[in-house]
Chains A and B, each alone.
Chain A
Amino acid sequence: MSAPETPISERSDCFQGYRGPARDALAKFSIGVWSEVEIVNDQGSAFVGVILPRSETADDQHVVIKLFNGYNVGIRADRIASAKETGYKKAVYKIPEKAFPFDPKKKSVTLLGTGGTIASRLDYRTGAVIPAFTPGELYGAVPELADIANLDTQKLFGVFSENMGPEQYKALAIAIGREIEKGVDGIVVGHGTDTMSHTGAILSFMVQNSPVPIVIVGSQRSSDRPSSDAALNLMNAVRTAAECEISEVMLCMFGPTSDNYDLLHRGTRCRKMHSSYRSTFRTIGATPLATVSRYPKVPGGSHFTYISQEILRRDKTRKPVINPSFEEKVTIQYYYPNFNPDIIDGLSAMGYRGMVIAGTGLGHVNKPIYPALKRAIQKGMTVVMTVQTLWGFAQMYVYDTGRDLLDLGIIPLDNMLIETAYMKLAWVLGQADDPTTIREMMTTPINHEIESREPHNGYLILQGGLPEVDAFVQKHWK
């Protein structure tokens, strides 16, 4: 152990996260965060190791030390009998960063970083995982990427998925447009998983007619874990960007929970369906577009199995339409029995211009809120109807309730997903004021956000359209 070179008073934040008695104890013994110490407690037990920063949400009674056997323990501050600093070494949590090798025979892909757990590290302040790896460092962690494509990386922002919003969507759309202009063969967007499908939806509207694939990818197990899905997802996403025929905004995430293949989901049609499973993303109201796997099924063969025939094909001569508009005064209201009409009046009074209702069944709400809806629509609010069931269509002619709602001016959106409807409405209201134009835009599909036909094997919790799942269902369907 080296003798401490920097006196404790000159180290920045040497009490990082410590408060109250714990901080007092550190000060009393002239030790601080990253001090190498020997602490002896009131029972004569010796602890030799490094003082770690304390999570700010933890109590103020304990000092955390990482012992030299690698374990962490918390020592109660008032039990410390003596403590001596024997060295000082600040931890550097960094993966080896290497320049990405260039191979003229390979396709070029740009990875745009937004944050999220596909690029993460430990945070001592909260004891949690924070987005911090630059996309360049990702190569140090996943060198296999060099076998797939020439990768250029750009960190746009470092935010958690839940902090993505209009500002980021616009920046992302513009950045994608710029990369397409440069002539890349595909774009990968690193993203946290919580709102990944929201981003998939908005990018489907903001970036239309892309000549190359735009692939959003993340991970359900952070990359600080050996069993993380991050590396495989990233490899498959880069492969998709470089080689896949489908030139749409897609999500690339685990198909099954096994390290087997990723599914490519259309940006307007998928949803996170499990809070922690690896295979959390499911295409809804349709089948996934394709599978992508790390190794081809036969040596030298394709890494892709195409499921859907209705796809926009890669064509580098095509010009994309970049339209980054977004109206922020838009809301989703999830209907439930005892839903109070005040909520609608309140939103209207606050100047909300658009409302997506997630209705029950075929797209219903109860009568007591009709007057409020009428007032809101008359004041200029666009109200659209989607279904809570996620699967199936808003079919408002079936019951009187539905017809009454149509009379009020509510726009039914068929089988558009709730979150997709939100993103589309925000995007439409960001560029249109006229009710007729708005209605026209909302009901005309741009990229399958409304499917005219629902495939018979689409509605399968186990994700229909895949041969093994179909075989399973056939076997068990009594």
Chain B
Amino acid sequence: MLDRLDYEAVGLISGLEVHQQLRTKHKLFCRCPAGLYTETHDGEVLRHMRPTLSELGEYDGTALMEFKTKKEIVYLLNHLNVCTYEMDDTPPFLVNQEAIDASIELCLMMNMDIIDEIHIARKQYLDGSIPTGFQRTAIIGVNGSLPFHGRDLTITHVSVEEDSCREVRDKGHQIVWRTDRLGMPLTETVTGPELRTPQEVRDAILLCGMTARSTQRVRTGIGASRQDVNVSVRGGDRVEIKGVPRAGYAVKLVHNEGIRQYNLLKLREELHRRGFTTRESIRVHPFDVSDICAGADLGFLRQAPSNGGKIFAVKVEGVAGLALHPTQPDTTFLDELSGRIRVIACLDEAPIVLSGALLPEFPGKHRMLERLRKRVRIKENDDYFIVFGPEEDCRTAADEIRLRFADATQGIPKETRQALVGGFTTFERILPGPDRMYPDTDSPPTPVTEARVATLRARLRPPPWERIERYMSWRVPEETCHYLIRRGGAEILDAVIEKTGVDGLVAAIAIGQHTRAMKRAGVPVERLGAGEWMQIFDLLTDGRIPRESIPVIAASVAKDGVSAEAAAAAAGVAMEPRERWLESVDRLTMDGYLAGKTDTPGKRLRFLTGRAVDQLLGKAPAKDVAEYLRQKLTEVPS
């Protein structure tokens, strides 16, 4: 099995589609509140989806596949966050201009060319994630770039689109969706296929995230940003890994997909070696073997017929042994078959599909296998697969087995794969093409004037790379810079520095590191806004508090909701006037100091300094105390 992959040698290429919810008051095409999530519902609607024609008159492959699944789609509605628009009983209202503005700002931050006239398109999704059967979406900007690893990362385009439903459950022929999130505006940022390693993918996700957050126009929190990662290797094809929740997860997912494609290309070689070079060369024969298998002492096979289902053996000519060909680490081609069968044939009772060679031991197994082989007239190079469930679904499954082997003769099927925990992926759907796009006849185009773009450009916040460069010139650690930008601290930092003139590094450490520690300790740091930090840094720049006391004061401000001044007083850290603390230092003695023969003046100085700093913590600047003592001790010869 292949664990290591030379990314350059296999020609791994990756690109991103980063989805980011916008922080608007209302949804994109109706007046429902955005961002109001509910876990209960007060209405249900049942729908089905049928494929339609695209504008250029072709059926989309994904659409046909999803039609084959014949799903009953149920939507859960709550009147708090859904109106008749979401349930597709009212046409769209004019597009939310707040969302268009926010999207334009994101585009401008990435140095993009803003589209002169925005056209809303419909992008078909028949999985039910959107009740209309399509997502309304529009390109806002094209031709941008981000500074990345010493080069430019191309941003192909940014679109604004409506968010989809949240899946509640998907079992058999029924899928259930919650509609609260449906229709919330989000942007999709598409990069060029220019990322060459899993690590670069992770870094690009982080960069896109920081850029979006720098606009101050996006939502944060769970589900507010999601990314799809496109991966291919040389000779392979584009596979989209959908729903990567965090940048860090991308590393293993991309690596494993690289391995999967590498292995599938090897499988193609083997198929070609056996003479299967065309899709048509794959021959499949389904047989109803319920009578043979029903007696088998295996739970799932016993249950199938008793639930009115059937057991089918699907013979595939000439593919003996290939089901066990490796794909991702620890998975085989059998998993590719089961993914397709689960999604398209809706057979989702584990183990979904069995290879005859892999049946577990049970009494009478050999006799049963003998009868099976006879029934399906198996030859030496053939293999067969067992599926069970409703007869119609078993027949769909047989066809999917044929289609998946047919795809394997050609290489890597273009598909969307769902990210699973552990860095693995499973089939979600066939990758949709441009044929699923058609214009939204319900919405007029929106011209974008130069004046509008100029106004938005003027209010643009600094991009992350500019801030990182500035902060790092103050010697702020890079990780702290990222934290500040991601968590919104950078906006506070810039404001505080401008207003109070505090040293940049000091403020950055306080806002970017101390708050992080406080947050871990359970302090409600979100209460620390620019105003609170300005109070604290005013005290510091006026010399009224020592630097060391900042975390204590900040924690107190956040926890107790008091002013910085009150917090400083309560903590007893208000600075004493210089004369007062000089007196205290002068009164310090060498009591308790146990002298040794080899003691140097330096050792005694350290003893006294330690004692002084302890005594004057929060009342005098430690650096000044040490300096005073050093001068004093060198002046007086011992």
**Residues of A at under 8 Å CB distance from B?**
41, 43-47, 50, 58-59, 61-62, 64, 66-76, 79, 91-95, 122, 127-129, 220-221, 223-228, 231-232, 257-260, 274, 276-278
CB distance from A83 to the nearest CB of B (A): 15
Q: Does B437 contact A (CB under 8 A)?
A: yes
Are A73 and B139 neighbours in the complex by a CB distance under 8 Å? yes
Identify B87's interface contact among A129, A226, A257, CB under 8 A: A257
Residue of A nearest to B56 (CB): A91
Are B119 and A276 neighbours in the complex by a CB distance under 8 Å? no
Q: Which 4 A-B pairs have the closest CB atoms?
A: A226-B133, A74-B117, A70-B437, A70-B434
Neighbouring A residues of B157 by C-beta, 8 Å: 69, 71
**Cα(A45)–Cα(B437), bound, Å:** 22
Are A227 and B132 neighbours in the complex by a CB distance under 8 Å? yes
Identify A224's interface contact among B90, B159, B438, B445, CB under 8 A: B438
A-B contact pairs, 5 of them (CB 8 A): A44-B143, A58-B444, A71-B138, A71-B159, A73-B139
Are B133 and A225 neighbours in the complex by a CB distance under 8 Å? yes
Given A44-B143, A45-B113, the answer on whether A69 and B447 have CB atoms closer than 8 Å is no
Are A226 and B445 neighbours in the complex by a CB distance under 8 Å? no
Identify B121's interface contact among A68, A71, A79, A224, CB under 8 A: A71
Are B89 and A122 neighbours in the complex by a CB distance under 8 Å? no
Are B55 and A45 neighbours in the complex by a CB distance under 8 Å? no
Neighbouring A residues of B76 by C-beta, 8 Å: none
Are A69 and B434 neighbours in the complex by a CB distance under 8 Å? yes
Interface centre among B44, B50, B138, B139 (most CB of A within 10 A): B50
CB distance from A322 to the nearest CB of B (A): 36
Given A76-B116, A92-B57, A225-B52, the answer on whether A70 and B134 have CB atoms closer than 8 Å is no
Given A71-B121, A226-B133, A276-B84, the answer on whether A93 and B57 have CB atoms closer than 8 Å is yes
How many residues in B have their beta carbons less than 8 Å from beta carbons of A? 54
Are B123 and A73 neighbours in the complex by a CB distance under 8 Å? no
Q: Does B306 contact A (CB under 8 A)?
A: no
Are B121 and A70 neighbours in the complex by a CB distance under 8 Å? yes
Q: Does B91 contact A (CB under 8 A)?
A: yes
Are A227 and B445 neighbours in the complex by a CB distance under 8 Å? no
Neighbouring A residues of B439 by C-beta, 8 Å: 72, 122, 127
Are A43 and B123 neighbours in the complex by a CB distance under 8 Å? no
Neighbouring B residues of A43 by C-beta, 8 Å: 113, 143
**Cα(A74)–Cα(B55), bound, Å:** 16
Q: Does B48 contact A (CB under 8 A)?
A: yes
**Cα(A258)–Cα(B47), bound, Å:** 6
Are B441 and A223 neighbours in the complex by a CB distance under 8 Å? no
Given A76-B117, A93-B55, the answer on whether A228 and B139 have CB atoms closer than 8 Å is no
Residue of B nearest to A62 (CB): B117
**Cα(A366)–Cα(B28), bound, Å:** 48
Neighbouring A residues of B132 by C-beta, 8 Å: 225-227
Neighbouring B residues of A226 by C-beta, 8 Å: 49-52, 63, 124, 126, 132-134
Neighbouring B residues of A76 by C-beta, 8 Å: 116-117
CB distance from A384 to the nearest CB of B (A): 35
Are B133 and A277 neighbours in the complex by a CB distance under 8 Å? no
CB distance from A298 to the nearest CB of B (A): 15
Neighbouring A residues of B119 by C-beta, 8 Å: 64, 71-74
Residue of A nearest to B112 (CB): A45
Are A70 and B435 neighbours in the complex by a CB distance under 8 Å? yes
Scan residues 480-531 of chain B and give those whose CB is less than 8 A from a CB of chain A.
none
Neighbouring A residues of B80 by C-beta, 8 Å: none
Are A224 and B436 neighbours in the complex by a CB distance under 8 Å? no
**Cα(A228)–Cα(B89), bound, Å:** 11
Scan residues 137-179 of chain B and give those whose CB is less than 8 A from a CB of chain A.
137-139, 142-143, 157, 159
Neighbouring B residues of A69 by C-beta, 8 Å: 157, 434, 437
Neighbouring A residues of B441 by C-beta, 8 Å: 122, 127-129, 224
CB distance from A79 to the nearest CB of B (A): 7
Are B116 and A258 neighbours in the complex by a CB distance under 8 Å? no
Q: Does B115 contact A (CB under 8 A)?
A: yes
Interface centre among B46, B91, B115, B435 (most CB of A within 10 A): B115
Residue of B nearest to A278 (CB): B89
Q: Does B626 contact A (CB under 8 A)?
A: no
Interface centre among B51, B56, B433 (most CB of A within 10 A): B56
Q: Does B624 contact A (CB under 8 A)?
A: no
CB distance from B443 to the nearest CB of A (A): 9
**Cα(A43)–Cα(B131), bound, Å:** 39
Q: Does B36 contact A (CB under 8 A)?
A: no
Neighbouring A residues of B139 by C-beta, 8 Å: 67, 71, 73
**Cα(A46)–Cα(B142), bound, Å:** 9
15 further A-B contacts with Cβ under 8 Å, apart from A64-B445, A69-B157, A226-B49, are A46-B143, A62-B445, A69-B434, A70-B438, A71-B159, A74-B116, A74-B119, A74-B445, A92-B57, A93-B55, A127-B441, A226-B63, A276-B90, A277-B89, A278-B89
Scan residues 16-69 of chain B and give those whose CB is less than 8 A from a CB of chain A.
44-57, 63
Are B438 and A122 neighbours in the complex by a CB distance under 8 Å? yes
Q: Does B118 contact A (CB under 8 A)?
A: yes
Identify B55's interface contact among A91, A232, A259, A260, CB under 8 A: A91
Are A260 and B46 neighbours in the complex by a CB distance under 8 Å? yes
Residue of B nearest to A69 (CB): B434
Q: Does B88 contact A (CB under 8 A)?
A: yes
Interface centre among B57, B137, B435 (most CB of A within 10 A): B57
Are B438 and A71 neighbours in the complex by a CB distance under 8 Å? no
Identify B57's interface contact among A61, A64, A91, CB under 8 A: A91
Are B88 and A227 neighbours in the complex by a CB distance under 8 Å? yes
CB-CB contacts of B177-208 with A at 8 A, as 1s and 0s? 00000000000000000000000000000000
Given A71-B159, A277-B84, the answer on whether A224 and B434 have CB atoms closer than 8 Å is no
Residue of B nearest to A276 (CB): B90
Residue of A nearest to B47 (CB): A259
Neighbouring B residues of A93 by C-beta, 8 Å: 53, 55-57
Are B57 and A276 neighbours in the complex by a CB distance under 8 Å? no
CB distance from B76 to the nearest CB of A (A): 13
Given A226-B126, A277-B89, the answer on whether A258 and B121 have CB atoms closer than 8 Å is no
**Cα(A68)–Cα(B49), bound, Å:** 25
Neighbouring B residues of A67 by C-beta, 8 Å: 139
CB distance from A2 to the nearest CB of B (A): 15
Are B45 and A258 neighbours in the complex by a CB distance under 8 Å? yes
**Cα(A128)–Cα(B440), bound, Å:** 9
Neighbouring A residues of B143 by C-beta, 8 Å: 43-46
**Cα(A76)–Cα(B114), bound, Å:** 11
**Cα(A71)–Cα(B50), bound, Å:** 21
Are B56 and A71 neighbours in the complex by a CB distance under 8 Å? no
Residue of A nearest to B123 (CB): A70
**Cα(A73)–Cα(B53), bound, Å:** 20
**Cα(A154)–Cα(B258), bound, Å:** 56
Given A41-B113, A43-B113, A259-B48, the answer on whether A71 and B84 have CB atoms closer than 8 Å is no
Neighbouring A residues of B51 by C-beta, 8 Å: 226
**Cα(A37)–Cα(B119), bound, Å:** 18
**Cα(A226)–Cα(B142), bound, Å:** 29
Are B91 and A276 neighbours in the complex by a CB distance under 8 Å? yes
Residue of A nearest to B131 (CB): A227
Neighbouring A residues of B45 by C-beta, 8 Å: 257-258
**Cα(A396)–Cα(B89), bound, Å:** 39
**Cα(A44)–Cα(B116), bound, Å:** 14
Identify B134's interface contact among A225, A257, A274, A277, CB under 8 A: A225
Residue of A nearest to B66 (CB): A226
Neighbouring B residues of A258 by C-beta, 8 Å: 44-47
Given A257-B45, A258-B47, A260-B46, the answer on whether A227 and B121 have CB atoms closer than 8 Å is no
